[in-house]
């Protein structure tokens, strides 16, 4: 039937078969450009959406990191004369987890406030100084837990003080980021499953179009692996196209929304910069496209070839 010398070596035959399948599947895709572009677009949209949300979340996380570099806790003390303030500062300095303190008496606060006003006539109407004395505490550690512990120690040491942590909103942002990441995982996962099944249906219908070729190849001794190989390459081509298209979409989306997002952040005094997606993200999108394309095609091929199996 065959002479070993005339047949290619295992690796050579394998490479030749793969190159042939890749070329043939690409040819078939180029032959049906409409269908190919629709599949690429579907995959591109579905990859770009979670990637865009992820980019927003990442920028928000970087924003919290940017503002987070020196968290401070402020202790506001009403009706506290200079001497009591000094005693309070000493008590705070002794507490565990305190790196340093700066204090400002009510009088100093009023003087500073007065200096900042263009017209101080209104302040002269006041009988008493309405401003509290304030001790600003620089924490030793910045982890949310250490900050929470320090806050409760401060409340114990100075029960009369109002404790306000400027780290609080960062904590909320981090919690939101965590929740957002989880939601993104669920939404992204469901979208990925959906697009994979779309690609599976496309692969199965392509295999049905090759019905006659498959029937003849089976009779001639082709294995399922051989028969599905072109479909797997089709999945990879669609995946590659979808990954590249999604990166383009993401890039365009970021550029289109950058100005309004950054100006909205600026309105809240947040130094947000909506960063352009990096090449690394593009590579991840392409890899995700290739994986989804391949797995989708594999599922479709399994279904189609099983339905048309030899006895």
Q: Binding residues for another protein, per CB under 8 A?
A: 1-2, 6-8, 10, 12-14, 16-17, 20, 212-213, 215-223, 226, 310-311
CA distance 238 to 288: 11
Residue number with CB closer to another protein (83 or 309): 309
CB of 172 to another protein, least distance (A): 59
Q: Are 106 and 132 in contact (CB under 8 A)?
A: yes
With b for 16 or more beta-carbon neighbours within 10 A and e for fewer, the 172-187 pattern comes to ebbeebeebeeebeee
β-sheet bridge partners, residue 134: 76, 104
CB of 13 to another protein, least distance (A): 3
CB of 29 to another protein, least distance (A): 15
β-sheet bridge partners, residue 133: 77
Residue number with CB closer to another protein (7 or 208): 7
Residue number with CB closer to another protein (109 or 222): 222
Q: Are 149 and 165 in contact (CB under 8 A)?
A: no
Residue number with CB closer to another protein (218 or 258): 218
Nearest to 94 by CA among 13, 41, 157: 157
CB of 311 to another protein, least distance (A): 5
Q: Is 130 helix (H, G, I), strand (E, B) or coil?
A: coil
Residue number with CB closer to another protein (17 or 108): 17
Distances from the Cα of 212 to the Cα of 174, 184, 218, 223, 247, angstroms: 58, 44, 10, 15, 38
CB of 219 to another protein, least distance (A): 6
């Amino acid at each position: 039937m065959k002479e070993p010398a005339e047949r290619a070596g295992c690796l050579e035959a394998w490479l030749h078969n793969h190159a042939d399948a890749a070329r043939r599947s690409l040819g078939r895709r180029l032959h049906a450009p409409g269908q190919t572009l629709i599949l690429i677009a579907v995959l591109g949209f579905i990859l770009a959406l979670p990637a865009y949300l992820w980019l927003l979340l990442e920028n928000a996380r970087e924003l919290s990191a940017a503002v987070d570099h020196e968290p401070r806790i402020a202790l506001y003390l009403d009706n506290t004369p200079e001497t009591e303030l000094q005693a309070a500062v000493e008590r705070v300095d002794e507490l565990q987890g305190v790196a340093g303190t700066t204090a400002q008496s009510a009088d100093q606060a009023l003087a500073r406030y007065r200096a900042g006003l263009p017209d101080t006539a209104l302040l002269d109407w006041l009988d008493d100084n309405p401003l509290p004395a304030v001790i600003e505490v620089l924490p030793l550690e910045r982890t949310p837990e250490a900050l929470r512990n320090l806050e409760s120690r401060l409340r114990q040491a100075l029960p009369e003080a109002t404790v306000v942590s400027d780290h609080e909103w960062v904590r909320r942002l981090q919690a939101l980021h965590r929740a957002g990441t989880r939601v993104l995982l669920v939404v992204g996962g469901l979208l990925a499953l959906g697009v994979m099944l779309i690609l599976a249906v496309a692969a199965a219908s392509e295999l049905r179009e090759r019905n006659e070729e498959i029937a003849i190849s089976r009779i001639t001794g082709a294995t399922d692996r051989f028969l599905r190989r072109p479909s797997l390459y089709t999945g990879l081509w669609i995946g590659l196209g979808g990954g590249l298209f999604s990166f383009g979409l993401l890039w365009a989306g970021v550029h289109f929304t950058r100005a309004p997002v950054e100006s909205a952040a600026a309105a809240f005094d947040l130094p947000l910069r909506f960063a352009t997606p990096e090449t690394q993200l593009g590579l991840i999108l392409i890899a995700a496209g290739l994986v989804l394309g391949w797995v989708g095609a594999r599922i479709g091929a399994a279904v189609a070839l099983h339905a048309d199996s030899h006895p």
